[in-house]
Structure 1
Amino acid sequence: MKVKSHRNLASRIQEAAGTLSERELALVDALSSKPDTAAFESLRSFADMAGVSPSTLSRLVARLGYESYRDLQLELRSAVTRLVPSPSERARLEGDKGDVGALFAQGLDDDIHQLRQLSELVSSDTFMEAIKLIAEAKGTVFVIGNGWSRSFADMLAHRLALCRPRVESSSSLDVLGLGKIADCGPGDCAVAIATRRYTRLTVSLAHALAERGVPLLSITDSAASPLLRGSRHALVVPNMRSGAFDSPTPITAVIHLLCVGVSRLTHASMTRRFKTLDTISEEMGTFVAPDAGRRK
């Protein structure tokens, strides 16, 4: 397995500067002067723009230490799109001239690539500590997320409520108000989810809980996220994409794996809880049989 390098494009170019051919130097100039173009154009298209063959660009990418042109693009996209937080502006930059099928393929490719990169995060000590924090909290688990991250928070809260008692989400706090956190303290825990653009309500509520001694787990997309202040543990899931929408896939996967871990640590109590929930569901007729809607 290759060790992932944390060098950026500028440092890689500097290290290789004395060994590059004239064509490769021309490519380096193009990459440095037009990172926004390289971030979103295909290998063949960017090579044509730079006046070199696709094979020359491929060789340069390998010489700079990237496993593929896609790896280079993901780095550039992260840098470029971080500077453009507005979805409307990102949509304008992407334009509407490209092939839709190619756009879908690129999106799937990006998701698969980022899911593979998660292996380092989910095998870390930090990830296991995050699972323990949620599973072993004696009091309430507050799951906070607003704006685009509200759906993530609700999904996590719903799954955790199946595993353990006393789970509150941003949705329940909206209805019940701040009275739910009036007695919070070190025996509780909070999970705050925020990605760009970071909503003030999520950040301020997370910080308010942390200041009252509640251990805070942050799930966010950048080491520069305002959510990180006061966090006991942080799961940083980079997810910068072109276009108006960042992908929900990487953070959804992290949420799923957190729940898998919590269910393992709470297995005995969770099993009893599921039996009770199944009984209640049967009494209420909650679920419809698969063939109930079939015409006879």
Structure 2
Amino acid sequence: MTQAEIRQQPPQDFEALRAAILERRAELPKRLTQVAAFALDHPDEIAFGTAASIAALAKVQPSTLVRFAQHFGFDGFSGLQLLFRARLRDRNASYEERLKILDQDGAALAESATILNGFMAAAHRSIDAIGAAVDPDTLERAVTLLADADTIYLIAKRRAYPITSYMAYAFGKLRVKCQLVGTSAGIDDDILAMATPRDAAFAVSFAPYASESAAQAHAMAARGIPVVSLTDSAFSPLAECSREWFEVVEADHAGFRSLSASMAFAMALTVSVAEKRRRR
């Protein structure tokens, strides 16, 4: 183990590990960065998998998992994995009764109602998690940044587009000047070219990330226009170019993810920006 990998006591829980990863991500070698991104994006895989299966999914060698664990102060990969299993136990405990009720009801329901219950359970999990995921101080800074802007440019594509579309509707009702990026005429770049450093951008993208949204957010940041973003990973291309960014991971049902938590966050941000402007 190199001198750089000699650390103090390892993190004691998943949130502490996540904070350590984010703090040190700029110094991580390429392969360890690859493991870090996979670990934060797929924590359940880390909890359940073997070193061999996890390495295959993360596209690294099993020895890289050991190096990653040691980099954060663990003796080996098994010690790191215990944190992910503890996270899973804590999360599952809070949903156990709710899911038990849904399962009991599902036995007597039609297939469509069972599917509805599944999506309701996923939405509950997403909403429950968002409170811990959003730092109040970061949220306040983001609200201030957007409230100070002359015009807020809303950037999103594909699955994320409904979020900015509804924000544009709400901002219009609240008399906050904004510009929705995503025209059928294909003039998004022309619209963004009108932005100045007195403006701001709010960008949304989830894995697999829309390359156009990431490029537009990076271009805005390069021109000195502050960017706030909503995404689902600390290793998202939006996180690296944003003045403030938020990580919201939607729970899925049968492989489908709704926008329950993301929409709740977006509307809270929208109304907070309008309220801050009104108070001024």
Q: Which of 261, 271, 278 lines up with 1:250 in the alignment?
A: 261
Q: C-alpha separation between the residues in 1 aligned to 2:195 and 2:235?
A: 27
Are 2:156 and 1:156 equivalent residues in the alignment? no
Measure, in 1, the Cα distance between the counterparts of 2:237 and 2:131: 25
- Counterpart in 2 of 1:126? 138
What are the equivalent positions in structure 2 for 1:213-292 lying under 5 Å apart? 213-267=224-278
Query: Are residues 1:185 and 2:214 paired?
Result: no
| Partner Cα distance (1:117, 1:221) in 2 | 12
Mapped contact 2:118–2:253 kept (Cα < 8 A): no
What displacement does 1:185 show? 2.5
Match of 1:6 among 3, 10, 15: 15
Shift of 1:105: 2.5
Amino acid at match of 2:233: S
Contact kept in structure 2, 1:140 and 1:188, CA below 8 Å: yes
Aligned residues: 196
Letter aligned with residue 236 of structure 2: S
What is the aligned counterpart of 1:69 among 85, 92, 97?
Answer: 92
Aligned letter for 1:166? Answer: K
- For structure 1, the 5+ residue unaligned runs are 9-29, 37-62, 74-98, 270-296
Equivalent residue for 2:154, pick from 137, 143, 162: 143
Instruction: Say which SS state the counterpart of residue 169 (structure 1) adopts.
Output: strand
Distance 1:72 1:5 in 2: 18
Alpha-carbon shift at residue 204 of structure 1 (Å): 0.8
Following the alignment from structure 1 to structure 2, what is the Cα–Cα distance between the partners of residues 164 and 199?
Answer: 29
Q: Confirm or deny: 8 A CA contact 2:226 2:242 kept in the other structure.
A: yes
Going from structure 1 to structure 2, the CA distance change for 1:70 and 1:100 (only over 3 Å counts) comes to farther
What is the Cα-based RMSD across aligned positions, in Å? 3.6
Unaligned runs of 5+ in 2: 1-11, 18-46, 55-84, 97-110
Matched-pair contact (CA < 8 Å) for 1:154–1:170: no
Whether the 8 Å CA contact 1:140–1:189 is kept in 2: the answer is yes
Partner of 2:123: 111
Note if contact 1:142-1:167 (Cα within 8 Å) is conserved in structure 2. yes
Q: Please list the CA deviations of residues 93-112 of structure 1 after superposition, one character each: whole Å capped at 9, or x if unmatched.
A: xxxxxx65544333322221
Counterpart code for 2:252: R
Distance 1:72 1:223 in 2: 25
Matches within 5 A, 1:23-102: 31-32=48-49, 64=86, 66-69=89-92, 101-102=113-114
| TM-score, normalised relative to structure 2 | 0.59
Contact 2:203 2:213 in 1 (8 A): yes
Q: Which has the larger radius of gyration?
A: 1
Task: Look up the equivalent residue of 1:232 and give its one-letter code.
Answer: R
The whole-number CA distance in structure 2 between the counterparts of 1:32 and 1:171 is 40
Q: In percent, how many aligned pairs have the same letter? A: 22
